[in-house]
Structure 1
Amino acid sequence: MLAGLVAAPPLASQAWRELGPAPISGVEFTGRAAAIATSAKRANRYYAGAASGGVWESTNGGRSWTARGDELPILSIGALAVDPDDDRILYAGSGEANGAYHSLYGLGLYKSTDRGRTWQVLGADLFAGRAFSRIVVSPHDSNDVWVAVARAGGTFGTVEGARGHPKRKGAVGVFRSRDGGLTWDRVRGGLRNVMASDVQLDPVDPDRIWVAHGDPFGRNPNGIYLSTDGGRRFAKAGLEINPQLLGRIMLAIAPSDPDRVYALIMNRTNRDKPYGFSPGGASTLAIIRSDDGGDTATTFFPGNFQGGQGNYNAAIVVHPTDPDVFFVGGVQMLRSTDGGETYADVTPPHVDVHGLVFDARGRLVAATDGGIYVSPDLGDTWFARNDGLGTVQFYAGASLHPSDATFLLAGTQDNGTNLRVGAGPRAWRHVFGGDGGYTAVDQADPDVFFVEFQGTGNLFRTTDGGATFNQSANGIDPNDRNCFLPPLVVDPGDPRRLLYATQRIYESTDGGLTWRPISGDLTGGPPFSVRSLVIAPSNPNLVHALTNDGRLLTSRDRGATWSLGLQSLGGWPRVTRQIAVDPRNHAFAYVADMRFGGGKVWQTKNAGRSWQSIGKGLPDVPVNTVGVHRAGSRRFILAGTDAGVFLSRNGGATWETYGDGLPNVPVQDLIVDPDHQRVVVTTLGRGVWWTALPKAAADAPTTLPLKAAGR
């Protein structure tokens, strides 16, 4: 359905323009790189796989980057591989197997034979809705390709990152192609339909294949498997670890001595309740070394360098010429120069390591939550290589300012809250740490604004443009539940009135100095919380809230009492901006249904007393955010999806793609900015973009493009 060459669409007059960051100035961070691959022949040719920002190429050792394949069906990348014999051939596995809510589903395996200029989508029906842990091209036969397949990310049921994709629970494990990816067989012969966290091929003996079944939540088949007959039969290798403890497992073979094999093993992740704060327990269990191809092994305990999130960040690589030198990555990164007996901390400038590789010159390259880092001296020094790599993952909750078109404040995944004041991709500065969430700005004074980091009550206010901050949590119970980054909204008619959401709603009437709860629990009970909140611009009494157990509620008395409007709406457990109210007529509001197969966009014409789906004309993709623009007497509805932005000019009867040039990346937030006649979107993996708002004059809707088909 998706197979065939994919060509980039031409730009139209309604073009999207990128605002960055690429990278964040000062700290030099960019978004999460889930995978890294290098050419075996050209030392400066790198490929980075952004977690949800696509494939990028560098021809100068990471000093600059070019996006390759923005038109592909989805840009969540979990694994990369370059053909060792022909570095024009590149494979990219869509779908990230790193076990987080924002580790999203894939839509097949991508293959390029011209270094990413054009692509073919392979195995779309076979792999859609799941994720790739590893891709390996055989050094003995370029047509022999092996992949390890897992579920998309999450905690409960491990599939929240699939966003309800109909094939999210399809087959996982190890698959093999003997024709360069055109056709595939699931590898059985002792392997199981259990998530595969790694596969490695012996660089000398084509009959020896290593596989790790590493379901991070723990399954009885978890373990390390070896085939000595070319993959016909697999058996557990003689590496003794209690299978009841095993979670994710990563493997590495020493290139200079294939009998030397290392395994990084994590404790299994606690299977959390649905939509809990985060999984836990995935600490470092052990590192295993075998010197005789798996017959015997030595176990080492380097300490827990992964915190509780080994399901999320885990990597291992062996030096190309010295089998005693290897590196393991998690929250921190460790180096051993004596085969695992001792370790030194060589963590790059940004923590959370997802991939490690050596380039053809022997430099160590790390893929982290802050982008790409290169070390010429085995980790003693590191250099950021993120210039032009525009892959920042933004959460919902960005803020603009009416008097300054360059002002943009927004929170990011693991790169804090960042402020843009000025032009260019580097016009961003880091103003607050952690995971950055919802923001709010005083519309009369842009030096006064709010930021937050993850958790309840971690809300801060500045009055000097971000030079200093004071906590704004007086009256908020820190034991309240949260959606990781609680929503915060300002009354459009009264900047001193703010609402903040846990499982209940808090109100401040003094600009955030003090808070008081004004509602009871709006959810169906623990562990759920409110993830989206809005005050009607034309009626401050009207408030809508959406919980992460899918309940849409409305208050018509400023939050004192609430009525239930819809249930089971789609969405991820974390913060969203799924609700928008017509700025002139509070009776009209819209809510996004953030899943496959849902209602897409719901509308009320009576202030939330009843709701109807108006998303029938949209492709079957999750709709993450909505906005409403009024021009003259006309009402335009904008929907930010996993496949770009769509526009309806007629109340949802028909929809069209809005604008050209926006990569196929999840749109996380959408802000209608009438003061500057633009719409601004933040994305989960490609930074911030803007284009002009639709005009009042009627334009004929275009035909729905094929780029969104096949999902």
Structure 2
Amino acid sequence: MKRRILTTLILISSVIIADELDMKKFKGMKARSIGPAGMSGRVTAIDVVLSNADVMYVGTASGGLWKSESGGIKWEPIFDDQKAASIGDVTVDPTNPDVIWVGTGEGNPRNSQTAGYGVYKSINGGKTWEYKGLGETRNIHRLLINPNNPDEVYVGAQGSAWGDSENRGVYKTTNGGETWEKILYVNESTGIGELVMDPQNPDKLIANMWQFRRWPWYFKSGGEGSGLYVTYNGGKEWKKRTDKDGLPKGELGRMGIAIARSNTKIVYALVESKKNALYKSEDGGFKWKKVSDKNIGGRPFYYAEVYVDPINENRIYNLHSTVTVSNDGGKTFSQLMTAYGSNGVHPDHHAFWGHPTNPHFIIEGNDGGLNISLDRGKTWRFVENLPLAQFYHINYDMEWPYNVYGGMQDNGSWRGPAYVWRAGGIRNAYWEELFFGDGFDVVPHPGNSRYGYAMSQGGNVGRYDLLTGHTQLIKPVHPDGERLRFNWNAAIAQDPHDEDAIYYGSQYLHYSTDRGNNWKIISPDLTTNDPEKQKQNKSGGLTYDATGAENFTTIIAIAPSPTNRNVIWVGTDDGNVQLTQDRGKTWQNVSKRIFGPPEGSWIPQITASNYDPKEAVVVINNYRRNDWKPYVFRTTNYGKSWKAIADEDNVWGYVLSYVQDPLEPKLQFLGTEFGLYVSIDGSKTWTKWTSGFPTVSTMDLKI
């Protein structure tokens, strides 16, 4: 297959138009989805056509928008060719089910949050889309339509988590998205935590303005900008509710807000403060009182949503790591469903939809996909055909047919076939889990794929045996007991010159020649070792949240040269590109010779050339400091000088991955936040690959 693609690319050099490939010539070379869908991925938004509840729309964190016309049995992607695939909200026009609005950029600002680019509108049920602006908001958490005037739409823009910006707050259009007016704004670091509309009065909205900020090494939720605001005239005027109205004193953070459809005087607010608690108003939001601070969830930055049953004002659904339900107005909560087992539902919940007149019909979305209940949550049907897995890395073995490996956000590490010699294609059951936790890189043993290495967050790594199912933890420790710093997504690499040897990264480079049984350190600290950026154990802001996601000053890329065993490249999360030419005896930091990206930028990938040990390509991104430009550089002289091989003129969005064909050096690919790019002239020009490949985060590439 590789040779056939290569031959085709060489023969079609005549189809280069305006320095780009004519992708119409490649319509017969479509990318093929091989799944998996059995563990699915993060669902962020749900809406259903009320006049025909078999028509459902589901938005996802990085997998675009999906539509079902069969009550959730069959699904089709309907957003693959738009500018961004991260969905913050999807809303069906209540007066015309063919009109669909989408706000892009998910509103769950964890360390792996993906970005969007504005608002989109379809007038034919998702067949075609029109961009409606607000691209610089990056992350839109809510989109509401006035049911009495569908040209009047409200957008709750959370804004980028990675930097201050004026492009956040509440926006309103009165002409169907032709123009927008910002109607609620606090400051550059405060965006929407929640925005709800009164079911009986569309001019009344309640908004949680949430001050928050994420750095690569720290997260802070809460601040003076946070608060709860109410408008009764469509956003012309807003009134802030404070501790004088019964809300907690001091700094506030994110809130979940819900208005009871059966009695709109009843409003609930799940409030992040020094003591997180559920508050209730019985007069439509004027006065509040605390109801409970027990069993209400503990990670409001990632999930903080409450919903009220449509006919019972005292029945509340609370979405957090599990879904809990109250039948007494929030005084007590019990678990709605189990997280594991034969009837379990994947934890970490972000989306919920309830039928406005049928309380038994509810749908919820989480880190593991979509679930539908027709009996008020007693039983759930998991949707098994939404392939939304958020891979951090991919790999392959040399079996025939070969297998594909990878680790996924909150869904472990897996192996599945690239092809199958049987009817029915690749099914979910053909994928098998190798390692638990958040999954990252998987490295099958090159000589015997029965064995391999798989990772989970914070540097945990194990050696698995596919035959016996045994997994042996092999995480390195320092011989002198020094604390090692491992990234959330730590680096691992197979030694291309010794099939039993592997490299692993903390702040040091570790090397094992016996499959991880023993390790030795072959470098000094290769990071900046900045103590001011090593305070992840204090991360969270108002709500303490130290999971290892903010571990910093660590190694995140290792690239041993396949042509010279003495040459090893290392990249760090704090901007260092380190090189040894004597197998770790001495090291040289060559990052200061890379001109263009700001100092301290993230180095997610280095690719050592298959052709020349002096040559390497480094992928750099800096979106974690609100810089969305692409940075990719090549050296041909061991890092003495570097040349940019991609920029904003030919690649849109920051770059995540790179690969060069091992047989034809001029054939190269770039993976970006917004899709895949190809070059057939040695990276002189780049063309976005649109033949069967959606606009999605392309985290890793392998040939």
Q: TM-score range by the shorter chain?
A: 0.7 to 0.9
Q: Which residue of 2 aligns with 1:462?
A: 464
Q: Structure 1's 669 and 192: CA in aligned 2 closer, same or farther, altered over 3 A?
A: closer
Q: Which residue of 1 aligns with 2:364?
A: 366
Helix, strand or coil: the match of 1:496? coil
Which residue among 145, 149, 152 is the counterpart of 1:144? 152
1:442 aligns with 2:475: no
Q: Which residue of 2 aligns with 1:550?
A: 575
Paired AA for residue 592 in structure 1: V
Mapped partners of 1:81, 1:220: distance in 2: 31
Which aligned pairs between 1:605-684 and structure 2 lie closer than 5 A? Answer: 605-616=636-647, 618-631=650-663, 634-658=665-689, 660-672=691-703
Q: Which residue of 2 aligns with 1:325?
A: 315
Mapped partners of 1:351, 1:408: distance in 2: 26
Task: Output one character per residue of 1:56-76: Cα deviation in whole Å (capped at 9) or x when no partner.
Answer: 111223222110120000101
Q: Which residue of 2 aligns with 1:33?
A: 43
Paired AA for residue 252 in structure 2: L
Q: Structure 1's 76 and 313: CA in aligned 2 closer, same or farther, altered over 3 A?
A: same
1:389 aligns with 2:420: no
Which aligned pairs between 1:92-491 and structure 2 lie closer than 5 A? Answer: 92-123=102-133, 126-153=134-161, 158-159=162-163, 169-188=165-184, 194-216=190-212, 217-237=221-241, 239-267=245-273, 285-307=276-298, 309-347=299-337, 349-359=345-355, 361-362=358-359, 363-385=361-383, 387-396=384-393, 398-421=394-417, 423=420, 424-426=426-428, 427-456=430-459, 458-465=460-467, 467-473=469-475, 475-476=477-478, 479-491=483-495
Q: Which residue of 1 aligns with 2:620?
A: 593
Task: Output one character per residue of 1:273-325: Cα deviation in whole Å (capped at 9) or x when no partner.
Answer: xxxxxxxxxxx711111111123223122425533x31012221111111111
Tell me if structure 2 keeps the 8 A contact 1:505–1:517: yes
Mapped partners of 2:399, 2:574: distance in 1: 38
Mapped partners of 2:316, 2:597: distance in 1: 43
Tell me if structure 1 keeps the 8 A contact 2:118–2:131: yes
User: Offset of 1:630 from its aligned partner?
Assistant: 3.5
Of Structure 1 and Structure 2, which has the larger fraction of its residues in helix? 2
User: Offset of 1:185 from its aligned partner?
Assistant: 0.3
Which aligned pairs between 1:495-534 and structure 2 lie closer than 5 A? Answer: 495-526=499-530, 527=534, 528-534=553-559
Mapped partners of 2:640, 2:129: distance in 1: 48
User: Offset of 1:226 from its aligned partner?
Assistant: 1.2
Mapped partners of 2:374, 2:437: distance in 1: 29
User: Normalization by structure 2: what TM-score?
Assistant: 0.84
Mapped partners of 2:311, 2:297: distance in 1: 27
Total equivalences in the alignment: 625
RMSD: 2.5
Q: Which residue of 2 aligns with 1:494?
A: 498
Mapped partners of 1:478, 1:250: distance in 2: 42
Q: Which runs of 5+ in 1 are unaligned?
A: 1-7, 160-167, 269-283, 673-711
Paired AA for residue 394 in structure 1: F
Tell me if structure 1 keeps the 8 A contact 2:139–2:158: yes
Paired AA for residue 98 in structure 1: N
Tell me if structure 2 keeps the 8 A contact 1:474–1:513: no
Paired AA for residue 697 in structure 2: P
Which residue among 23, 27, 33 is the counterpart of 1:18? 33
Among all aligned residue pairs of Structure 1 and Structure 2, give the percentage whose two residues are the same amino acid: 27
Helix, strand or coil: the match of 2:290? strand
Paired AA for residue 469 in structure 1: T
Mapped partners of 2:273, 2:509: distance in 1: 37
User: Offset of 1:465 from its aligned partner?
Assistant: 4.5
Helix, strand or coil: the match of 1:195? strand
Q: Which runs of 5+ in 2 are unaligned?
A: 1-22, 213-220, 340-344, 421-425, 535-552
Helix, strand or coil: the match of 1:602? strand
Q: Which residue of 1 aligns with 2:11?
A: none
Mapped partners of 2:128, 2:389: distance in 1: 24
Mapped partners of 1:553, 1:543: distance in 2: 8
User: Offset of 1:642 from its aligned partner?
Assistant: 2.2
Which aligned pairs between 1:566-585 and structure 2 lie closer than 5 A? Answer: 566-567=591-592, 578-585=605-612
Paired AA for residue 109 in structure 1: V
Q: Structure 1's 652 and 185: CA in aligned 2 closer, same or farther, altered over 3 A?
A: same
Q: Structure 1's 10 and 48: CA in aligned 2 closer, same or farther, altered over 3 A?
A: farther
User: Offset of 1:333 from its aligned partner?
Assistant: 1.4
Mapped partners of 1:192, 1:322: distance in 2: 38
Q: Structure 1's 9 and 261: CA in aligned 2 closer, same or farther, altered over 3 A?
A: farther
Tell me if structure 1 keeps the 8 A contact 2:571–2:603: no
Helix, strand or coil: the match of 2:701? strand
Tell me if structure 2 keeps the 8 A contact 1:46–1:62: yes
Higher relative contact order, chain-length normalized (CA < 8 Å, sep 6+): 1
Mapped partners of 1:613, 1:229: distance in 2: 52
Tell me if structure 1 keeps the 8 A contact 2:277–2:296: no
Task: Output one character per residue of 1:137-183: Cα deviation in whole Å (capped at 9) or x when no partner.
Answer: 11221111111111234xxxx34xxxxxxxx7232111111112221
Mapped partners of 1:93, 1:559: distance in 2: 49
User: Offset of 1:9 from its aligned partner?
Assistant: 7.6
User: Normalization by structure 1: what TM-score?
Assistant: 0.83
User: Offset of 1:111 from its aligned partner?
Assistant: 0.9
Q: Which residue of 1 aligns with 2:8?
A: none
Tell me if structure 2 keeps the 8 A contact 1:447–1:466: no
User: Offset of 1:252 from its aligned partner?
Assistant: 1.0
Tell me if structure 1 keeps the 8 A contact 2:136–2:167: no
Q: Which residue of 1 aligns with 2:19?
A: none
Helix, strand or coil: the match of 2:392? coil
Mapped partners of 1:555, 1:132: distance in 2: 44
Mapped partners of 1:44, 1:289: distance in 2: 34
Q: Structure 1's 198 and 571: CA in aligned 2 closer, same or farther, altered over 3 A?
A: farther
Q: Which residue of 2 aligns with 1:53?
A: 63
Q: Structure 1's 475 and 131: CA in aligned 2 closer, same or farther, altered over 3 A?
A: closer
Paired AA for residue 693 in structure 2: L
Mapped partners of 1:492, 1:509: distance in 2: 12
